[in-house]
Amino acid sequence: MKIAVAKGDGIGPEIMDAVLKIFEAENVPLTYEFVEMGKWVFDKGYSNGMTPIAKDTIEELGILFKGPMETPKGKGVKSVNVTARKTWNTYANKRVFKTLHGVDTVFSKAGIPIDLTIVRENIEDTYGGIEHMLTQDVTLSRRFITRPGSLQLIRYAFEMAMKKTSKRITCIHKANIMKITDGLFLECFYEVAKDFPELKADDVIVDDLCMKLVTKPDLFDVLVLTNLQGDIVSDLCAGLIGGLGFAPSANIGDHICIFEAVHGTAPDIAGKNIANPTALLLSGVSMLQHLGLMKHAAIIENALLFTLESGVHTGDFGDKKHAAVNTTQFAETIISNFGKIPSLGAKQLLPNLPVSATDFKLGKNPMLISGKMKSGKIVGVDMFIESEEQPEAVAKKCESHAGNKFKLISLSNRGTQVWPTGSVYTNLVNQYNARFEAIAENEIFQQDSIELYSRLSTDFKICSLELLNAWGDIKGYSLAQGQ
């Protein structure tokens, strides 16, 4: 089977060469199509960090194995790592964090074993990167959490948890504050949980989780999170086991999957042959398992674990009483340990499954629809306006433009109500949200909001607007603090 390989930037080429050398020594039945991705591709003028040929190759082969990549700073370009995950809808980021014998941490010294799997949503949330400056002082980032995307991710997490014979799966969220976005994610979690009664399904608020992870990480098994929270928590978990140098990553999609090291490019040591290839190797092992190459994966992982147990280490970890080895020597030691079994965490030598090349072609973009469509209606509109006036003055002007279909309900500033009630101690910025709701039983259409926008624009610059939607008794919008 042929897969696409991108060596990456900085230390990427040398750690990728080390991993592929280990694969070759184990006779892993893969061939490689090397593709151009990374900072040096940005520098050649490709704004997405990959050449058109690389994109076509990856879409044809369906598997990308990649080293760490750098996104140029201050050039207005998007991260190539995020672009790749989103372009090919690798909606689930799976990262496994396990205690590794030979990698000392506070928890390993205390005899507390860690075995955590994080499934992080990979497409939505603030990682859409949709940002605007509403005024010179006020910026906005849009956060998308969708029902189809949440269900897709969460079902994968439950199915994965069943395969690894987990006992508990926990939804991590901030639904106590973000009641609509994280509230939807949590709702989807418990909806899917009904189909998996064998698993204990519960939820924990993200800040509470972080406190518990650094005190009792062995309480948890599988964690499923939204994108930004998952990014932060997964790096925290990497710290529990020794750092990002020991944290593999798999990005799973229905058609294309990406296996990568998520640590940095370490340009300060690039080319010195001293980098630690463990994270990339573990990501490669995860890729082999995904492809059904179970025996090869187990032999390589057992050899790595035996090597670590033996005290062999690169310069970034291990007992400093013993001399560190370089990248090449570390890979050669792993190869010499093929067939040896570690005393802790040995992997079972399962038979390989049949491997075949990816064979799929999509004629159009898949449209994700949850099937929960209900008839809804517009019940009002939020107008985000720029003004340096006091709330009473802003409200008076807004009311003069409300017309016969709308009533001004409230003004808020940075999410806190400042009219009709509020406090003089609430600091203001020069952007208000004026909430207009329909009067009595008035039926509101988009055109009504556009006409209100036009009237308000005679007194204010309108930064943006959001329709207030309702589905039956369910309001599709949040209240301001104090409203």
Residue 273 within a domain: yes
Do both 318 and 382 map to the same domain?
Answer: no
Of 310, 336, 362, the position where a domain reaches its end is: 336
The pTM for the full model equals 0.90
Q: What residue numbers bound the domain in which 453 lies?
A: 377-475
Q: What is the mean pLDDT of residues 80-106?
A: 92
> How far apart are alpha carbons 454 and 462 in whole angstroms?
9
Do both 310 and 170 map to the same domain?
Answer: yes
User: pLDDT value at position 457?
Assistant: 97
What DSSP character marks residue 234? H
Do both 184 and 278 map to the same domain?
Answer: yes
Q: What is the mean pLDDT of residues 19-43?
A: 94
Residue 307 within a domain: yes
CA angle 16, 224, 68 (to 5 degrees): 15
Q: What share of the chain is helix, strand, coil (3-state, %, to 5)?
A: 35, 20, 45
Strand order in the sheet with 115-121: 31-34, 2-6, 63-66, 257-261, 248-252, 92-98, 115-121, 222-225, 168-173, 200-205
Do both 267 and 148 map to the same domain?
Answer: yes
User: pLDDT value at position 71?
Assistant: 77
Task: Find the CATH number of the domain harbouring 168.
Answer: 3.40.718.10
Q: What is the mean pLDDT of residues 466-475?
A: 91
> How far apart are alpha carbons 244 and 235 in whole angstroms?
7
pLDDT digit string, tens, across residues 224-276? 999 999 999 999 999 999 999 999 999 999 999 999 998 999 999 999 999 99
Burial of 115 from C-beta contacts in 10 A (0-12 / 13-18 / 19+): middle
Euclidean distance between the first and the last CA atom of the chain, given in angstroms as a whole number:
60
Lowest mean pLDDT among 62-76, 120-134, 347-361: 347-361
Provide the H-helix boundaries in 26-74: 39-43, 52-61
- What torsion do the CA atoms of 388, 391, 395, 398 make, to the nearest 10 degrees? 20
CA angle 94, 96, 97 (to 5 degrees): 145
How many domains is the chain built from? 2
CA angle 337, 297, 117 (to 5 degrees): 115
User: pLDDT value at position 356?
Assistant: 65
Task: Find the CATH number of the domain harbouring 431.
Answer: 3.30.70.1570
Of 336, 361, 391, the position where a domain reaches its end is: 336
Residue 313 within a domain: yes
CA angle 196, 193, 208 (to 5 degrees): 125
Do both 329 and 389 map to the same domain?
Answer: no
- Choose among 382, 381, 401: nearest CA to 455: 401
Do both 384 and 318 map to the same domain?
Answer: no
pLDDT digit string, tens, across residues 368-385? 888 766 788 999 999 999
Tell me whether the omega of the peptide bond preceding residue 420 falls within 30 degrees of 0, making it cis: yes
Residue 445 within a domain: yes
Residue 410 within a domain: yes
Query: Which pLDDT band holds residue 21 (cuts at 50, 70, 90)?
Result: very high
Do both 401 and 328 map to the same domain?
Answer: no
Do both 330 and 448 map to the same domain?
Answer: no
pLDDT digit string, tens, across residues 122-131? 999 998 888 9
> How far apart are alpha carbons 215 and 223 in whole angstroms?
16
> How far apart are alpha carbons 450 and 460 in whole angstroms?
14
Residue 425 within a domain: yes
Query: Which pLDDT band holds residue 322 (cuts at 50, 70, 90)?
Result: confident
Do both 161 and 255 map to the same domain?
Answer: yes
Do both 392 and 328 map to the same domain?
Answer: no
Q: Does the pLDDT value for residue 363 go beyond 90?
A: no
Residue 50 within a domain: no
Residue 20 within a domain: no
Measured in whole angstroms, the distance separating CA 389 from the mean position of its chain's CA atoms is: 40
Do both 132 and 257 map to the same domain?
Answer: yes
User: pLDDT value at position 45?
Assistant: 83
Do both 330 and 397 map to the same domain?
Answer: no
Q: Does the pLDDT value for residue 360 go beyond 80?
A: no
Of 276, 311, 336, the position where a domain reaches its end is: 336
